[in-house]
């Protein structure tokens, strides 16, 4: 009943609610009365019932106490075990991607980013994954007006090229860093989105190009996409909003 009211703009009448939930009107009335007594719903002067303040407090408490790293770590461990590559978790902070958790692979040659290390949004897998889940106007605001820094020969420094790459990443559900931040390193990443469908973290797999050839990226991309989707759901998030097809300035 609460889920129906939460998904109904403007609330619903007793008759509409009972019909939608296939409940006898007396049963619906009894349940609504109990929820109203506990402040989970409130009745308006127009005869419509809406979600009440107590339901809002419960939801807010969930948002405040959810733990991104705790939810992500088991998925990162599974990603590392099934792929054989290092799994990472990053968030956006002050215009950069910041690594907050990592499960290193067992190979001698591996990606090793210390926790708290920062990566450029436009030239890292985790950064591009989060950018790809944003509307272009938000990408524009985050990256600023200055020139995009070049880190390797493959870094995307053209706004048009970056916009095209982000649009493709949004369609397939994961982004690729193809030696754009460090020579010899590839990465695939997918965004974790919040309750508004906006990106606030990303999960990735990274390793040397010798173990991450081009033909393996689609398989790894599906793995990180599935992990990101699971973490998003566990934290009460919604899928990323559809990107607007407009160029970055």
Structure confidence at residue 195 (pLDDT): 84
CATH of domain 2-64: 1.10.10.10
Can you give the three-state secondary structure of 56-122, one letter per residue?
HHHHHHHHHHCCHHHHHHHHHHHHHHHHCCEEEEEEEECCEEEEEEEECCCCCCCCCCCCCCEECHH
Q: Residue 154 corresponds to which tokens in the numbers above?
A: 């493959």
Structure confidence at residue 237 (pLDDT): 87
> Do residues 165 and 154 touch, judged by C-beta distance below 8 A?
no
Structure confidence at residue 116 (pLDDT): 81
Fold for the domain defined by 67-234: Beta-Lactamase (3.30.450)
Instruction: Tell me, yes or no, if the two domains 2-64 and 67-234 fold the same way.
Output: no
Whole-model pTM: value is 0.72
Structure confidence at residue 7 (pLDDT): 80
Mean pLDDT by runs of 10 across the 249 residues of the chain is 85 92 94 91 90 76 68 94 94 89 84 81 96 93 91 95 95 95 95 90 95 94 96 86 48
Structure confidence at residue 66 (pLDDT): 60
Question: What whole-number distance in Å separates Cα of residue 155 and Cα of residue 38?
Answer: 56
Every domain of the chain and the residues it spans? 2-64, 67-234
Element (H, E) at 165: helix 159-172
> Do residues 76 and 69 touch, judged by C-beta distance below 8 A?
no
Element (H, E) at 178: strand 175-178
> Do residues 116 and 98 touch, judged by C-beta distance below 8 A?
yes
């Amino acid at each position: 009943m609460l889920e129906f009211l939460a998904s109904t703009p403007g609330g619903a009448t007793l008759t509409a609610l009972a019909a939608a939930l296939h409940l006898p009107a007396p049963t619906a009335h009894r349940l609504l009365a109990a929820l109203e007594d506990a402040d989970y719903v409130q009745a308006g002067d127009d005869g419509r019932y809406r979600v009440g303040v107590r339901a809002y407090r419960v939801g807010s408490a969930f948002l405040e106490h959810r733990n991104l790293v705790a939810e992500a770590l088991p998925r990162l461990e599974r990603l590392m075990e099934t792929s054989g590559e290092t799994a990472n978790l990053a968030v956006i902070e002050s215009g950069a991607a910041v690594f907050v958790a990592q499960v290193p692979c067992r190979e001698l040659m591996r990606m090793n980013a210390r926790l708290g290390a920062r990566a450029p949004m436009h030239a890292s897998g985790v950064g591009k994954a989060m950018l790809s889940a944003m509307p272009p106007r938000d990408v524009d605001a985050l990256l600023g007006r200055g020139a995009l820094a070049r880190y390797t020969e493959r870094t995307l420094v053209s706004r048009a090229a970056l916009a095209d790459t982000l649009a493709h990443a949004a369609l397939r559900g994961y982004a690729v860093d193809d030696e754009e931040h460090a020579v010899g390193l590839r990465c695939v990443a997918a965004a974790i989105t919040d309750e508004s469908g906006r990106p606030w973290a990303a999960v990735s797999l990274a390793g040397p190009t010798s173990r991450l050839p081009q033909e393996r990226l689609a398989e790894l991309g599906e793995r990180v996409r599935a992990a990101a989707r699971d973490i998003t759901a566990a934290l009460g998030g919604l899928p990323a909003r559809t990107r607007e097809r407009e160029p970055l300035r």
